[in-house]
Amino acid sequence: MPDLRPILFFDSGIGGLSVLAPTRAALPLAPIVYAADNAFFPYGVKSEGEIAGRVPVLLGRLAERYRPRLVVIACNTASTIALGPVRAALDIPVVGTVPAIRPAALASRTRVIGVLGTDATVRQPYVDRLAAEYAADCLVLRHGSAALVALAEADLRGDATADAAYAAVLSGLLDQPGGDRIDTVVLACTHFPLVADRLAAVAPRPLHFVDGGPGIARRIVHLTQGQSWPATAAPGIAVFTGPIDPAPAFAASLARFRLERHERL
């Protein structure tokens, strides 16, 4: 009998779609539930205490409703703060999202890498530990940007976003002392790979952008190895904790990721 349990992706908004996409490519028959905590968006400007208190409870409710086989916290901020409590609260595998500092360090020729994330992520001690373990011989520069999260959300809704806004975000990273030698940038928020092309277009020089999506997809494939899937792919479900955006452009963007049903938690 096919196993109809879904993979549950969770983010504050639409950023986790950058993790869903490579997972869809690797597991095209997997049932998908994508949950966005848009009632509490954005996470990057919230306190650690707020996020640590909210995310495990919310994922418990989602797991009770949708009975997933596996949960993916497709949000760097939530993962760096709440991954441990979520794993303690649920009795199914939970995959977190961490900044891709290791592949960035392997790729960098100049040994100067940038970490572009939310304010909450870039200040986490977890990032310090990743940098010490995998990029000890690199200068690691960080910049937190709530503006880029908002730009990615607006872009998915079909709203016009200005090149100058993306350039300003990059300047916050590249204009730091030593920033002129950055050759590799870690996109340490799942929203940011969705607009990587916009960042590349305004960069003052070629930059190599790295994110954790492909690695997370490989981890999901490993954890579900040997499990059965439905014979045909079912429409994915997008779940929101707040009001559902009624704009046709938003629905069309979700449909590109095969999220065709919309529900409110």
Residues with catalytic roles: 75, 189
* Residues 6+ away with beta carbon under 8 Å from 160: none
Q: Quote the CA–CA distance of 66 and 43 in Å, as a whole number.
A: 23
Cβ atoms 105, 134 nearer than 8 A: yes
- H or E element at residue 260: strand 259-264
- Token duo for residue 85: 């409590």
Q: Quote the CA–CA distance of 245 and 265 in Å, as a whole number.
A: 14
> Mapping DSSP to helix (H, G, I), strand (E, B) and coil, where does residue 8 land?
strand
- Token duo for residue 163: 């090149």
